[in-house]
A and B are shown apart, each in its own frame.
Chain A
Amino acid sequence: MHYRRWVVRRLWLGILVIWGAATTSFVALQLLPGNPALVIAGGGNNYPSEATLRAVERTYGFDKSIVTQYLTFLGRLLRGDFGDSYQLHQPVGSILSSQAAASAELAAGGAIIGALVGVAVALATAGRPRAAGAARCLELLAVSTPGFWIGLVLLSLFSFDLHLFPVIGNDGVSSLVLPWITLALPVAGSTSLVMREEMEQALVQPFALTVRARGVSESRLRSRHLLKHTAPPVLTLSSWIVGQLFGGVVVIEQVFARDGLGQTLVAAVEGRDLPVVTGVVVFVAVVFVLVNFVVDGLYLAVDPRLRRQPA
């Protein structure tokens, strides 16, 4: 019955991570130089009058002590209330839900395409030195080229010159194709690099010889037997990929003129919009916790050895 204990423990750890992320963003925004009321009221444009400054401080509770502000912040967080954006005067929850969907379809598409391409390339090239060498070159290129540049090249080629895909609008699949490809390339590159490595190790194991001796075809050997062996390291990689994807969408939203969480976060940090910043940070922390929870669960599923002792 350590499954239940395992789940409970992971749950507590998850809550700890989310609390840590929220607290860190709260502290980080406090540590930034300058008075947040000035940023909100003046926007750097001018120095507000005393009356305006006091009004802003009262509205957002900046006149209270840091401890009171922190406790208020935590109390709201517990109730799932992120408050209203200082800049947009809308509930953070509705800002997040409207922006998260756009980012999610972008990230999910990029991840799925990237994973499929990565797996296919690894399957096709593992244990074939010449093909593997060529693939490795392309993979390293895909992993190390800035998404910013890939995006602009794709845009000028397929949107500005060939008019195949639109640049504006978050509407429909056609506006997602180029951002997806941009996001998928590094995912595909890293997935296939790691998988091929694992497959090549598995290919020389005795069990591969045994399977071959049973007369199983090469392609069946790869897809049926080897793929399973590559699962643990790819799972490990996947939580890293989630982080990469979130970083990627910030840049891609900018290049492809899309809205989404990335641009929301950038604008919120610039404008000291604490509710929005913590909203995005907590949201991302929750996604991370969930992904890691699922990944750890999958470890247990794919690797029988881990099931013998409590994780």
Chain B
Amino acid sequence: MQLSASQRSAHHGREAPRTGTRGRVSIAAAVIVGSLALSACGSSQSGSQQASATTQAPQSGGALTYAVDKTQLTLDPAVSAQSVTALIDRNIFDSLVVQTGPSSFGPWLATRWTTSPDGKTYTFHLRRGVTFHDGTPFTAAAVKASLDHVVDPKTASQYAASLLPTYEGSKVIAPDQVQIRLSAPFRPLLQALSTAYLGIQSPKALALPVGKYAPVGTGPFKYGSWVNKKNVTLNRAASYASAPSNAKHTGAAYLDRLNFQLISEDQTRYGALTSNQVQGIAAVPPSDVASLKSSSSAQVLSVPQPGNSYSLYFQVKSGPLADVRVRKALSAAIDVKTLIKTVYFGQFPAATNPLGPTTAYHDASAGQELQGFDLATAKRLLDEAGWTTVNSSGYRTKDGKQLTVEWPTLAVNESASDNTLGQGIVANAKAAGIDLRRPSLDVGAYIDAVKKTKYSVIDAGGGRADPDILRFLYGAKQTFLTGGGNTSLVASPQLDGWLNDGLVSSEPTKLAADYSAAQKYILSNAFQLPLHDNVSIAGFSKTVKGVASDVSGYPLFYSAWLDD
């Protein structure tokens, strides 16, 4: 899912959240706990202005309006690939398990679980006495119905189905016991099950025709209304008693109502928060983060997101980038650090690794294999690769052919900042004599270009919170046409060995060694040029307390409350 990764980045990385380097270590620690209080965030950033807030008792009541920058096409998490759908649905649906750290999971709707020795059968023991918002009891049958719905071709899942690649079926053992059978071991299953995309839905609601779909889960808020392109309103589920094991409280949510209001224009969304017309906003523009942080009435929730860093992926099978020297030359031509710092106002850390630092088995030392910025090296590498002559436009040529590199981008994913970064990269490449072309395409044309391999560079980032994203991006079998994200078209038995090991192994030291080798191999072969780590940046009014953040960086509203 190159594409997918790219899209997801758009969603993950850009859409809701985006950015920020602040207090990375302390925030990362907080995220591992899985519930990052805004107050904790505030204090790590600017002293103890919020310290007293943590001791205050939460108050129930009130409505919180959170302005999002993109709108969902559906609220069915099994269908949508949009992070805004996941953001909203997280409040409606509970999952079987909760991700509590880069590679740790806790009970949620499942109280405990076991894995068969061959890694192909998972047995989940379910919480009893939970009911869906429509009154249907939560049982093993609901788990089966939800997962079967995800993989049903009629559902036309854009993302969730890719989280269950080897799903064979579910078996109801007892009302409170369900068995998930896989055709091949899939280590990231728990991580997949912890996402809102695989949230457990009411079988009764799923039985309705697609035009009548309404999201019905067991979560802390129930679906109220959706006015297309305007807002989604959720109401508190008063009898909620199935909070995840790492939540800050149990029982019903504090807020009476939760509104997700669409304000797609960045400046309007920002102004709506600073003028207190909404209590929170997604995707604070990087240029506005500093002024929001210094504001007396607002605070910033900035959380690093795990997954693949936003990167340029080089297509190594055909075209000029098939030569590793040209790939390294292109890497050496681009001053990533300066560009990222300037374009994103210091809110995103420049990346040196295929995986974000909060991803399990991220190896910081792999960055040493990366070909860093050095214009002289870039020119020398191009000379060595035979691109020795320079034409009148200043571009390198070989046998009369200009060194032209195609980099199609997906218009709907691009923020203004991304576009600026892209232009900076093109300018950097030109200084080294590389003609980097960057057409902006609509979805159909983009898919077409990828399908027909009419590209040498693809930008993507922000995939799922598991190092298995590397297999998705580099597995020889994970080409775009098979639903994968290997747009680099890398086919390396060595890399496949490590990544397939990572898929089935459950031995942490083995996993660490495998993923470390993979990260180093990817960088030393210049398969990709990491640009920046993904950070989710949300803004909140200071009256909002208790907002947590999940491992993927999304704000969680279950324990949120308003301090009037």
Q: Which residues of A contact B (CB under 8 A)?
A: 32-36, 38-49, 51-52, 54-56, 84, 87-90, 95, 98-99, 152, 155-156, 159-161, 163, 166-168, 170, 254-260, 263-264, 267, 270-272
* Residue in contact with A168 in the complex, picked from B74, B277, B485, CB distance below 8 Å: B277
A126 to B127, CA, bound (A): 80
A272 to B447, CA, bound (A): 13
Shortest distance between the CB of B192 and any CB in chain A (Å): 14
Which one, B153-161, B502-510, B540-548, is touching chain A? B153-161
Please determine whether B228 and A45 come into contact, CB atoms closer than 8 angstroms: no
Instruction: Give the residues in chain A near B274, CB-CB below 8 Å.
Output: 160
- Additional A-B contact list (8), CB under 8 Å, known A168-B67, A256-B268: A38-B447, A44-B412, A44-B413, A47-B484, A49-B161, A152-B267, A167-B275, A259-B230
Residue of A whose beta carbon sits closest to that of B229: A259
Q: Which A residues touch B126, using CB under 8 A?
A: none
List B473-500 residues whose CB lies under 8 Å from chain A: 480-485
Q: Which of A34, A46, A52 is most buried by chain B, counting CB atoms within 10 A of its CB? A: A46
- Of chain B, the residue at the smallest CB distance from A260 is B229
Evaluate whether A45 and B158 lie within 8 angstroms (CB atoms) in the complex, with A89-B213, A161-B275 already known.
Answer: yes
Of the residues B73, B159, B412, B447, contact of A87 by C-beta under 8 Å = B73
Query: How far does the alpha carbon of A98 sit from the alpha carbon of B4 in the complex, in Å?
Result: 32
Distance of A253 Cα from B162 Cα, bound (Å): 35
Task: Give chain A residues whose Cβ lies under 8 Å from the Cβ of B481.
Answer: 47
What is the minimal beta-carbon distance from B69 to any residue of chain A, in angstroms? 10
Minimal beta-carbon separation of A295 from chain B (angstroms): 31
In the complex, what residues of B have CB within 8 A of residue A90's CB? 211
Q: Say yes or no for B182: interface residue by CB 8 A criterion.
A: no
Assess whether B483 is in contact with A49, with CB atoms less than 8 Å apart. yes
Instruction: State in angstroms the CA–CA spacing of A255 and B266 once bound together.
Output: 9
What are the residues of chain B within 8 A of A152 when measuring CB–CB? Answer: 265, 267-268
Residue of B nearest to A272 (CB): B444
Minimum Cβ distance to chain A for residue B103 (Å): 24
User: By the criterion CB–CB under 8 Å, are A167 and B268 in contact?
Assistant: yes
Residues on B with beta carbons closer than 8 Å to the beta carbon of A166: 277
Closest-CB distance, B357 to chain A (whole angstroms)? 25
Q: Is B81 an interface residue (CB 8 A)?
A: yes
B contact residues around A98 at 8 Å (CB): 228
Q: How far, in whole Å, are A34 and B23 apart by their CA atoms in the complex?
A: 44
6 contacts between A and B (CB under 8 A): A32-B444, A32-B445, A87-B73, A256-B268, A257-B261, A259-B229
The 8 A CB mask of B1-45 against A (1 = contact, 0 = none) is: 101101110000000000000000000000000000000000000
Please determine whether A42 and B3 come into contact, CB atoms closer than 8 angstroms. yes
Is the beta-carbon distance between A46 and B444 smaller than 8 angstroms? no
A257 vs B213: C-alpha distance in the bound complex, in angstroms?
26
CB-defined contacts of B154 to chain A, threshold 8 Å = 55
In the docked arrangement, what's the CA distance between A55 and B74, Å? Answer: 18
Contact A257 B448 (CB under 8 A): no
- Closest A residue, CB atoms, query B444: A34
Q: Please determine whether A95 and B444 come into contact, CB atoms closer than 8 angstroms.
A: no
Residues of chain B with a CB closer than 8 A to A260's CB: 229
Q: Across the interface, which residues of B come within 8 angstroms of A159, CB to CB?
A: 271, 275, 277
Contact assessment for B275 and A163 in the assembled complex, using a CB-CB cutoff below 8 Å: yes
Contact between B158 and A170, CB atoms less than 8 A apart: no
Least CB distance, A282 to chain B, in whole angstroms: 20
Task: Give the shortest distance, in Å, between B161 (CB) and chain A (any CB).
Answer: 8
Interface: B324 (CB within 8 A): no
Give chain A nearest CB distance to B82 CB in angstroms. Answer: 8
Q: Contact between B277 and A49 (Cβ–Cβ < 8 Å)? A: no
CA distance A258 to B272 in the complex (A): 13
**Is B284 interfacial (CB-CB < 8 Å)?**
no
- Does B364 count as interface, using CB distance less than 8 angstroms? no
List A contacts of B483 (CB < 8 A).
46-49
Does B443 have its Cβ within 8 Å of any Cβ on chain A?
Answer: yes
- The chain B residue sitting closest to A98, CB to CB, is B228
CB neighbours of B153 from chain A (8 A): 49, 51-52, 54-55
The reply to whether B229 and A39 form a contact with Cβ atoms under 8 Å apart is no
Docked pose: A161 CA to B275 CA in angstroms: 7
A167 close to B277 (CB less than 8 A): yes
Q: Is the CB of A32 within 8 A of B442?
A: yes
Query: B330 interface residue, CB < 8 Å from A?
Result: no
Chain A minimum-CB-distance residue to B411: A270
